[in-house]
A and B are shown apart, each in its own frame.
Chain A
């Protein structure tokens, strides 16, 4: 029964992935926790909570669910909806303090863009331990005595997530397009839905084949082919589809220009909508539409003490920390997705963002305003 409910929730919430799904906040017991059992914290996106509960099965623990208004951990933390306040609040009011003797709370690593470990410790008396990115790694993380392997720190875009994203885009877009076309051209509704779903799966499943040509560094934002400054993947895909249309109508023996034109236009719209924020739909690139993709993380070597906060929270494993020489370096800076977690967490303010114009965005600004004031925040940047 539980499994059925879990599958049902997974299907519905994947179809409507772009919408928030809030669930109950507060304290939940997993197994038979005692006063020394670990405390895990997550957001109140329903699917996240269900998945965390599933992987925690067999572990005795306390789970506290913070209010992120039904939005997933990464988006909520980065956008300011899973903040220090939400974390402090649930730790203080959920009653977890009366149930455990320790004051250690394990947070999902992706919350590091919006939740500051030292603030939680200072204002609520709880020590934050950054857990793995994915809930599935929690059992291994516990066996490893709360130490993360580099793999546990990194976001991925595996087949399962790509299928989820394909569904998440195909469903709303196919519904909206079908409703628009319904009054004008009824016969086209089913082929259109089929086309959108097919294209969506094609785009996301074949992602590893073309991802090496994607670039978020292009400074222009073209109107049509946003994400492909160099690749032009959408254009190629569309070209192939139009060619297919010609071939199909010739083979079917009822070739007409009207048919080819109409469907060329429709496939154009479908390809455009599906891939309008292709890079933003993956965890391994910054959104191609967002100005923040142009920011660079700069390391101030004079301030760096090599404490390694950055290494612990970077979801792209950009950092390398030399524990002997007490310094950090960014050898894999090209992989950065500008999430800002390293800047927010560095206790020595040794990291900051720099815009292409040379403006500096200080750690304090990011901690206070997160990434939700993009336009305004860039204005706040200071000249060097």
Chain B
């Protein structure tokens, strides 16, 4: 059967995911998620794509929103569920083991906010385009798509700088937690392609991390 080393890598991943991501993003993730959650108001219906251990889901629920978190990893969802229960938010959140490819089952124009933290970087190119299309469909007119994720820097000099800075970080993180991410190319362009209007965008200094808010236009006109 499969070799020991590989199994070890696979089996230790979920419980260490949070720690790994925190190291990989140098601790700035909490602030990023706080900023994303500031777009959310009480009573809104929110969908969290790739909710993982629930960092964004719980922030949204604390704002008084009704949140559905989806993820394909049952172990992560278990941790998320536990956290929501500890924060007394269980009645406002719903977790579903489901991938982005199954968004087809969600009703059109049913969410005020669709958000995603570090999920797009785990998707394949096909999945990413599909998800953006579906996100637009299920958002109410005027609804917001919020994304925080790692992106490929645009210029070559920044790419090299990013690589130099990240290489040791990625190596260490991978060794400790077997977690890593794959940066997305041209994310804002893809969001616009899907028919959403970019409302705000915040790029990190090296250009390797992005926070985007895209709005589904109101009415039929583009």
Point out residues on A near B: beta carbons under 8 Å.
18, 25-26, 67, 71, 74-75, 78-81, 83, 85-86, 88-95, 123, 276-277, 280-281, 283, 285-287, 289-290, 337-339, 368-369, 371-375
Contact = CB atoms under 8 A, between A and B. Distances in A.
Contacts of A285: 1
A67 B101 CA distance: 13
Contacts of A75: 2-3, 6-7, 10
Interface residues of B, number: 26
Contacts of A283: 1
Interface of B: 1-7, 10-11, 13, 72-75, 98-102, 104, 124-127, 129-130
A25 B1 contact: no
B102 A92 contact: yes
B10 A81 contact: yes
A281 B3 contact: yes
Given A71-B6, A92-B101, A338 B11 contact: no
A182 B33 CA distance: 48
B126 A94 contact: yes
Given A83-B72, A369-B75, A88 B1 contact: no
User: Which are the 8 A-B pairs with shortest beta-carbon distances?
Assistant: A79-B10, A89-B101, A85-B72, A92-B101, A75-B2, A85-B99, A93-B130, A372-B11
A74 B127 contact: no
25 contacts: A25-B126, A26-B124, A67-B127, A78-B2, A79-B10, A80-B73, A81-B10, A85-B98, A85-B101, A86-B72, A88-B99, A89-B100, A89-B127, A92-B130, A93-B101, A93-B129, A93-B130, A277-B4, A277-B5, A281-B3, A286-B1, A287-B1, A287-B2, A289-B4, A374-B11
A372 B10 contact: yes
Contacts of A85: 72, 98-99, 101
Given A85-B101, A373-B11, A374-B7, A280 B74 contact: no
A25 B4 contact: no
A16 to B, nearest CB: 13
B102 A368 contact: no
Contacts of B2: 74-75, 78-79, 280, 287
A25 B98 CA distance: 20
Given A79-B7, A85-B72, A92-B130, 20 more contacts: A18-B3, A18-B6, A67-B124, A75-B10, A78-B2, A88-B102, A89-B99, A89-B100, A89-B101, A89-B124, A90-B126, A92-B102, A92-B104, A93-B127, A277-B4, A290-B4, A337-B1, A369-B75, A372-B7, A374-B7
A277 B3 contact: yes
Nearest to A74: B2
A94 B104 CA distance: 14
Given A25-B124, A26-B124, A93-B130, A79 B6 contact: yes
Contacts of A80: 10, 73
